[in-house]
Amino acid sequence: MDARVTSTAPGASTADVLTVRGLTVGFGDAPVLENLDLDVHAGEILGFVGGSGTGKTVLMRAILGLLPKRSGTIEVFGTDVDHVSDEERRQVGQRWGVLFQQGALFSSLTVRQNIQVPMREHLRLPRRLMDELALLKLELTGLPRDSADKYPSELSGGMTKRASLARALALDPELVFLDEPTSGLDPIGAAEFDDLIGKLRDTLGLTVYMITHDLDSLYTVCDRIAVLGNRKVLVTGTYGEMLTYDHPWVHAYFRGERARRIES
Ligand SMILES: Nc1ncnc2c1ncn2[C@@H]1O[C@H](COP(=O)(O)OP(=O)(O)OP(=O)(O)O)[C@@H](O)[C@H]1O
């Protein structure tokens, strides 16, 4: 396969935009995540992997404040989100964008209206300006202008992902969360989406937190990988570092037959 070399984020600093310490989240007796620590560095693309059901989405939702935690701290942009006013938390939320699994576009709204949902929620802008901004976001994500008036049901899988990404970028976020952005795309569509993520990171200076099962994405576009297992972040490091980490799941995932095909 095309071995695009994993780049280090241009101008990336070592500052962390997200710091999680001692996080425990659960629904019943046994927690899904327990005493979990994680750092996400400014300007990096962090790929998050782990077996099915290990809690990758639960972690993302807890960070976003959509799920309660039992203990631990979450700092975003240096702000402990538990110890701020509602207004300050709203301001933090304005600095991130989210692409949920399956896109989660509102089916009764056009693509333009979907992109404008966060704008309406957080900003007071004249309609014409919002329309112009929506077109700008469409262009950024490589969608044609005429897709603005389409409904989600009229979009292909790849277009749905791009429209969802355009909505995630609506407020010019510094940090974007992507939950399995390439799932359901064919390999060419997935590679194009990876390229897009890399370009947006480079041009907009984004920090990207990406949950994925896609080895190609991890290999080609992620600066660092975090592996979730045993209710914690087991290991973080580059793709190369994953190859030497001694854990059965990590070994099977990164040294398995599929991984060997990617590296060859
Ligand atoms: N709202 C909820 N109530 C109860 N249990 C939940 C809830 N959300 C998630 N879980 C459970 O938490 C565990 C982790 O789920 P999660 O969706 O985070 O896994 P995942 O790692 O993202 O999996 P996949 O890779 O398959 O998407 C699962 O056992 C799931 O059933």
Ligand 1 pocket: which of 23, 25, 32 to mutate (most atoms within 8 A of CB): 32
Task: State if residue 53 touches ligand 1 by the CB under 6 angstroms criterion.
Answer: yes
Q: Whose CA is nearest to atom 17 of ligand 1?
A: 57
DSSP letters, 216-261, are HHHHHT-SEEEEEETTEEEEEE-HHHHHT---HHHHHHHSSHHHHH
Q: What are the strands of the beta sheet with 79-80, ordered from one edge?
A: 31-41, 16-26, 71-76, 79-80
Q: How many CB atoms lie within 10 A of CB 186?
A: 11
At residue 165, does pLDDT exceed 80?
Answer: yes
SS3 141: coil
Task: State if residue 57 touches ligand 1 by the CB under 6 angstroms criterion.
Answer: yes
pLDDT tens digits for range 205-249: 999 999 998 888 888 899 999 999 999 999 999 999 998 888 888
Q: Report the distance separating Cα 113 and Cα 211, nearest Å.
A: 26
Whole-number Å distance, alpha carbon 27 to ligand 1 midpoint, is 10
Task: State if residue 54 touches ligand 1 by the CB under 6 angstroms criterion.
Answer: yes
Task: State if residue 50 touches ligand 1 by the CB under 6 angstroms criterion.
Answer: yes
pLDDT of amino acid 32: 95
Q: Is 118 in contact with 171 (CB distance < 8 Å)?
A: yes
pLDDT of amino acid 173: 94
Q: How much is the mean pLDDT over the chain?
A: 87
ipTM here: 0.96
pLDDT tens digits for range 33-85: 999 999 999 999 999 999 889 999 999 999 999 999 999 999 999 889 888 88
pLDDT of amino acid 5: 31
Task: Domain ranges for the chain, please list them.
Answer: 109-172
Task: State if residue 66 touches ligand 1 by the CB under 6 angstroms criterion.
Answer: no
Q: Report the distance separating Cα 204 and Cα 172, nearest Å.
A: 9
pLDDT of amino acid 3: 29
Q: What is the dihedral of CA 61, 65, 71, 77, to 10 degrees?
A: 100
Q: Whose CA is nearest to atom 31 of ligand 1?
A: 53
Q: Report the distance separating Cα 102 and Cα 118, nearest Å.
A: 18
At residue 260, does pLDDT exceed 70?
Answer: no
Closest CA to 229 of 97, 48, 106: 48
Q: pTM of the prediction? A: 0.88
pLDDT of amino acid 125: 84
Q: Report the distance separating Cα 135 and Cα 151, nearest Å.
A: 15
Q: Whose CA is nearest to atom 4 of ligand 1?
A: 27
